[in-house]
Amino acid sequence: MKEFIHAARQVLEGNRPVDERKKYQVIEFLLGLVHLVFVIYFAALHVPVMVYYNIIIVIGYMSLVAVLQKTNAYFCVCAATFGEILVHSMLATILLGWDFGFMIYTVGLVPFAFYIGYTIQNFKHHILIPATTSLIVCVCYFVVKVISEQHGALLADDYPERMISLANYVNNVLDFLLLWVVAVLFALEINFMHKSLERENRSLERIANHDPLTHLLNRHSMSSYLKNAMKAAEKKRKPFCLIMADIDDFKKVNDTYGHGFGDEVLITVANILTENVRKEDYVCRWGGEEFLILIHAGEEIALQAAGRICEDVAKSVVAQGDTKVSVTVTLGVAEYHLGDSIRRLVEKADDKLYEGKRTGKNRVVF
């Protein structure tokens, strides 16, 4: 029971699709029950043709429930259901008369046809199928109406007005229930597709904005954060700093141990960078073995972060099989001052970085 409630909640929230097999099995089973009621109903009205017809249809629907357990022939099942409801409505109306309200079920077939065309995989976007079936329903509806008005009911029994009115009322209620079920199913399908599209968009956005190897921001996405930081600094006097970090002798690592091992080094360093900054700060892979860190604070906090990164990288060991290597990074720190452009600020951090490279590496230069 808990699993059913959990699954139902997932479907309602749009996090899980409606199970196609179970959906159509439930629909066919419920239609079988409705026709079982019709067996009793037509027996009470002394209409043996409709009694036998509905007995056969009940058996047919229950057989479809069993068939759906072993096959995915959803379109064939829906087409058979569609045809059966249309034939049943027409036959019952011609025999008993228009006032019994059996043709009202054909109205519910129109949205049902579009639902099938929208949800069944092989027929999605084939608007011609539901459009054609809807046209067939309309033609049948008006043909039966004309026949009923001109010739009346084939079974001219003098049924009580109260019985006719009750039958009309029940048929209308059942048809609205059919429309409601189709509408709910349609809403659940759309909700799931909408949530799926949102998840795909977030995934695509992440792919577009992040480096695929290190999962850090890429250079393009970092540019927008840099622009926002500069605007905040100019309008609200909020300080920020940039830290340019570069892995020392990375080319030698690639040449000695291969690019696969070099990738492991990049991932390890990227993780250390992320662990040593705050949630409001941003880290990106600027290019190759270079990383750029945006610190939303003044030089003191930026230098502390750079110092931690330098120490943690030096302590780390990158291992792959029997190969174990320690690497270091050199970092240049630059603080934003009014009048600086983003390009100029990056150049300042880059200049400090290469000053550190020239003076011994594995250090922070400000």
**What is the mean predicted confidence (pLDDT) over 214-229?**
92
Supply the pLDDT for residue 190. Answer: 84
Pick from 58, 56, 148: which is nearest to 96 by CA?
148
Q: Using a CB cutoff of 8 Å and minimum separation of 24, what contacts does 303-309 make?
A: 303/333, 303/364, 303/366, 305/243, 305/276, 305/277, 305/281, 306/243, 306/245, 306/331, 306/333, 306/364, 306/366, 307/364, 308/276, 309/243, 309/245, 309/272, 309/273, 309/276
Of 289, 335, 347, 355, catalytic? 289
CA distance 281 to 287: 19
- Residue position matching structure tokens 């931690």: 308
Split at pLDDT 50, 70, 90, the class of 123 is low
Q: Is the pLDDT of residue 152 over 60?
A: yes
One DSSP character per residue, 285-317 reads EEETTEEEEEESS-HHHHHHHHHHHHHHHHH--
Whole-angstrom distance, CA of residue 276 vs CA of residue 47: 83
Assess whether pLDDT exceeds 80 at residue 217.
yes
The pTM for the full model equals 0.63
Distance CA 312, CA 332 (A): 16
DSSP-derived pairing of the beta strands 364-365 and 282-287: unpaired
Q: Is 289 a catalytic residue?
A: yes
Mean pLDDT (the chain, rounded): 88
Bridge partners of 217, per DSSP, are 210, 284
2-46 pLDDT, tens per residue? 676 766 677 677 777 778 888 888 889 989 998 999 999 899 888
Could you tell me the domains of the chain? 2-207 (no CATH), 219-365 (3.30.70.270)
